Every structure is written in structure tokens, then in C-alpha cells.
Amino acid sequence: MDFLDRHAPGFLLQDLEVGNRRHLIFYTDRQLQLLAKAKTWYMDGTFRCINSPWKQLFSIHGFVKSGERLKQIPLVFVIMSGKKKEDYYEVLRFIDRRLPEDISLQGFVADFEAALWQALKDRFPRMPIQGCVFHWTQAVFRKVQEHGLQVNITDITITIIISYWCYKR
């Protein structure tokens, strides 16, 4: 921990317990300030880089201005041992309580995890939630494959086709 204390003080901020499940929440004060300024929080969970007893690495991203460009960067990391609505709710509540009153948040973009959506609706009832186009496209393509309807097409091509079709309307 000496390395983290020297180079990123306060990076491990919480070992949150929800029932018999644990969630390790990581961010710096600067990352939290940037999260408070973000209009949209982009949320994602990944399972491939996590081993038991953990279930996922959940992250919250926001767009940050860098020179003349906007870049989406991860601002909060949570190693979670559960993925129930209560788990997401308590993680969101912990983060929300550490933000200033006047945050810029206007909505969320998330993958299609039902428990996450319900926790977002419960914790932030007035905020709109949008599904992530990338994850939606993945789900559609999986269904296409399940029914043997795929052709020799790349994931990026199907993403472009479906995105064009959705936004053209």
C-alpha cells in the first residue's frame, strides 16, 4: 500500500459490505470531482478480469475535456462480489453521498443488467437511463447467431449497420 499512498493517496476508499457480499470501491478525490462535473455516467461491468470470490469489475466513466477534445475515462472502479439490485444500490448510494449537491448529472448509459437499472431508478428516480448501443448490438448479434442467421460479418460491421438503422428513424 505504500506505493498507492505515495502516488494516489486515498485510492482505496471503501470496503463496502452488503449482507455477506463485499465491494471494494476505488477512486481519487480528483476522479470524484470529475464525476460530479460529468453530465452522463457511462457504466459497465466486466467479468473476464476477475476471479472468485469476485463477480465483476464495475466501472463508471465520464467525458473529461483534455485540451480541445473530450475523452471518456474511467472515474470509479468497484470490484464486486455480488450483482443484486441491493449491491448496485449501496455502491451508488456510497458514491452519491460523497458528491457535492450541485452535480451536473443528467442521465446514465449502461449495459442491460436488470439489477443495475432498478438500482439506478431507485437511487436516482428522475434521471433517464439509456442502454448502451454496443451492448445492445452484441445482444442482437447473439440472437442472430442462436437462430443460425449470421453471415460472414464482423462485430464492427453489425454495430455500424444496426446503429445506422436505429438512428436513421
H helix or E strand, kind and range, residue 47: none
Distance CA 28, CA 11 (A): 5
Sign, CA dihedral 124-24-65-34, equals positive
CATH number at residue 85: 3.30.420
pLDDT tens sequence across 9-48 = 666 677 788 989 999 999 998 999 999 999 999 999 988 8
48 and 85 fall within a common domain: yes
91 and 45 fall within a common domain: yes
120 and 142 fall within a common domain: no
Domain range holding 16?
2-131
Instruction: Please give the single-letter amino acid code of residue 136.
Output: W
pLDDT tens sequence across 77-105 = 999 999 999 999 999 999 999 999 889 99
Place of cell 486515498: 10
pLDDT band at 142 (very low <50, low <70, confident <90, very high): confident
Enter the pTM of the model.
Answer: 0.78
Chain centroid offset of residue 102 CA: 21
Distance CA 62, CA 76 (A): 9
pLDDT reading at 169 higher than 60: no
pLDDT band at 164 (very low <50, low <70, confident <90, very high): low
45 and 122 fall within a common domain: yes
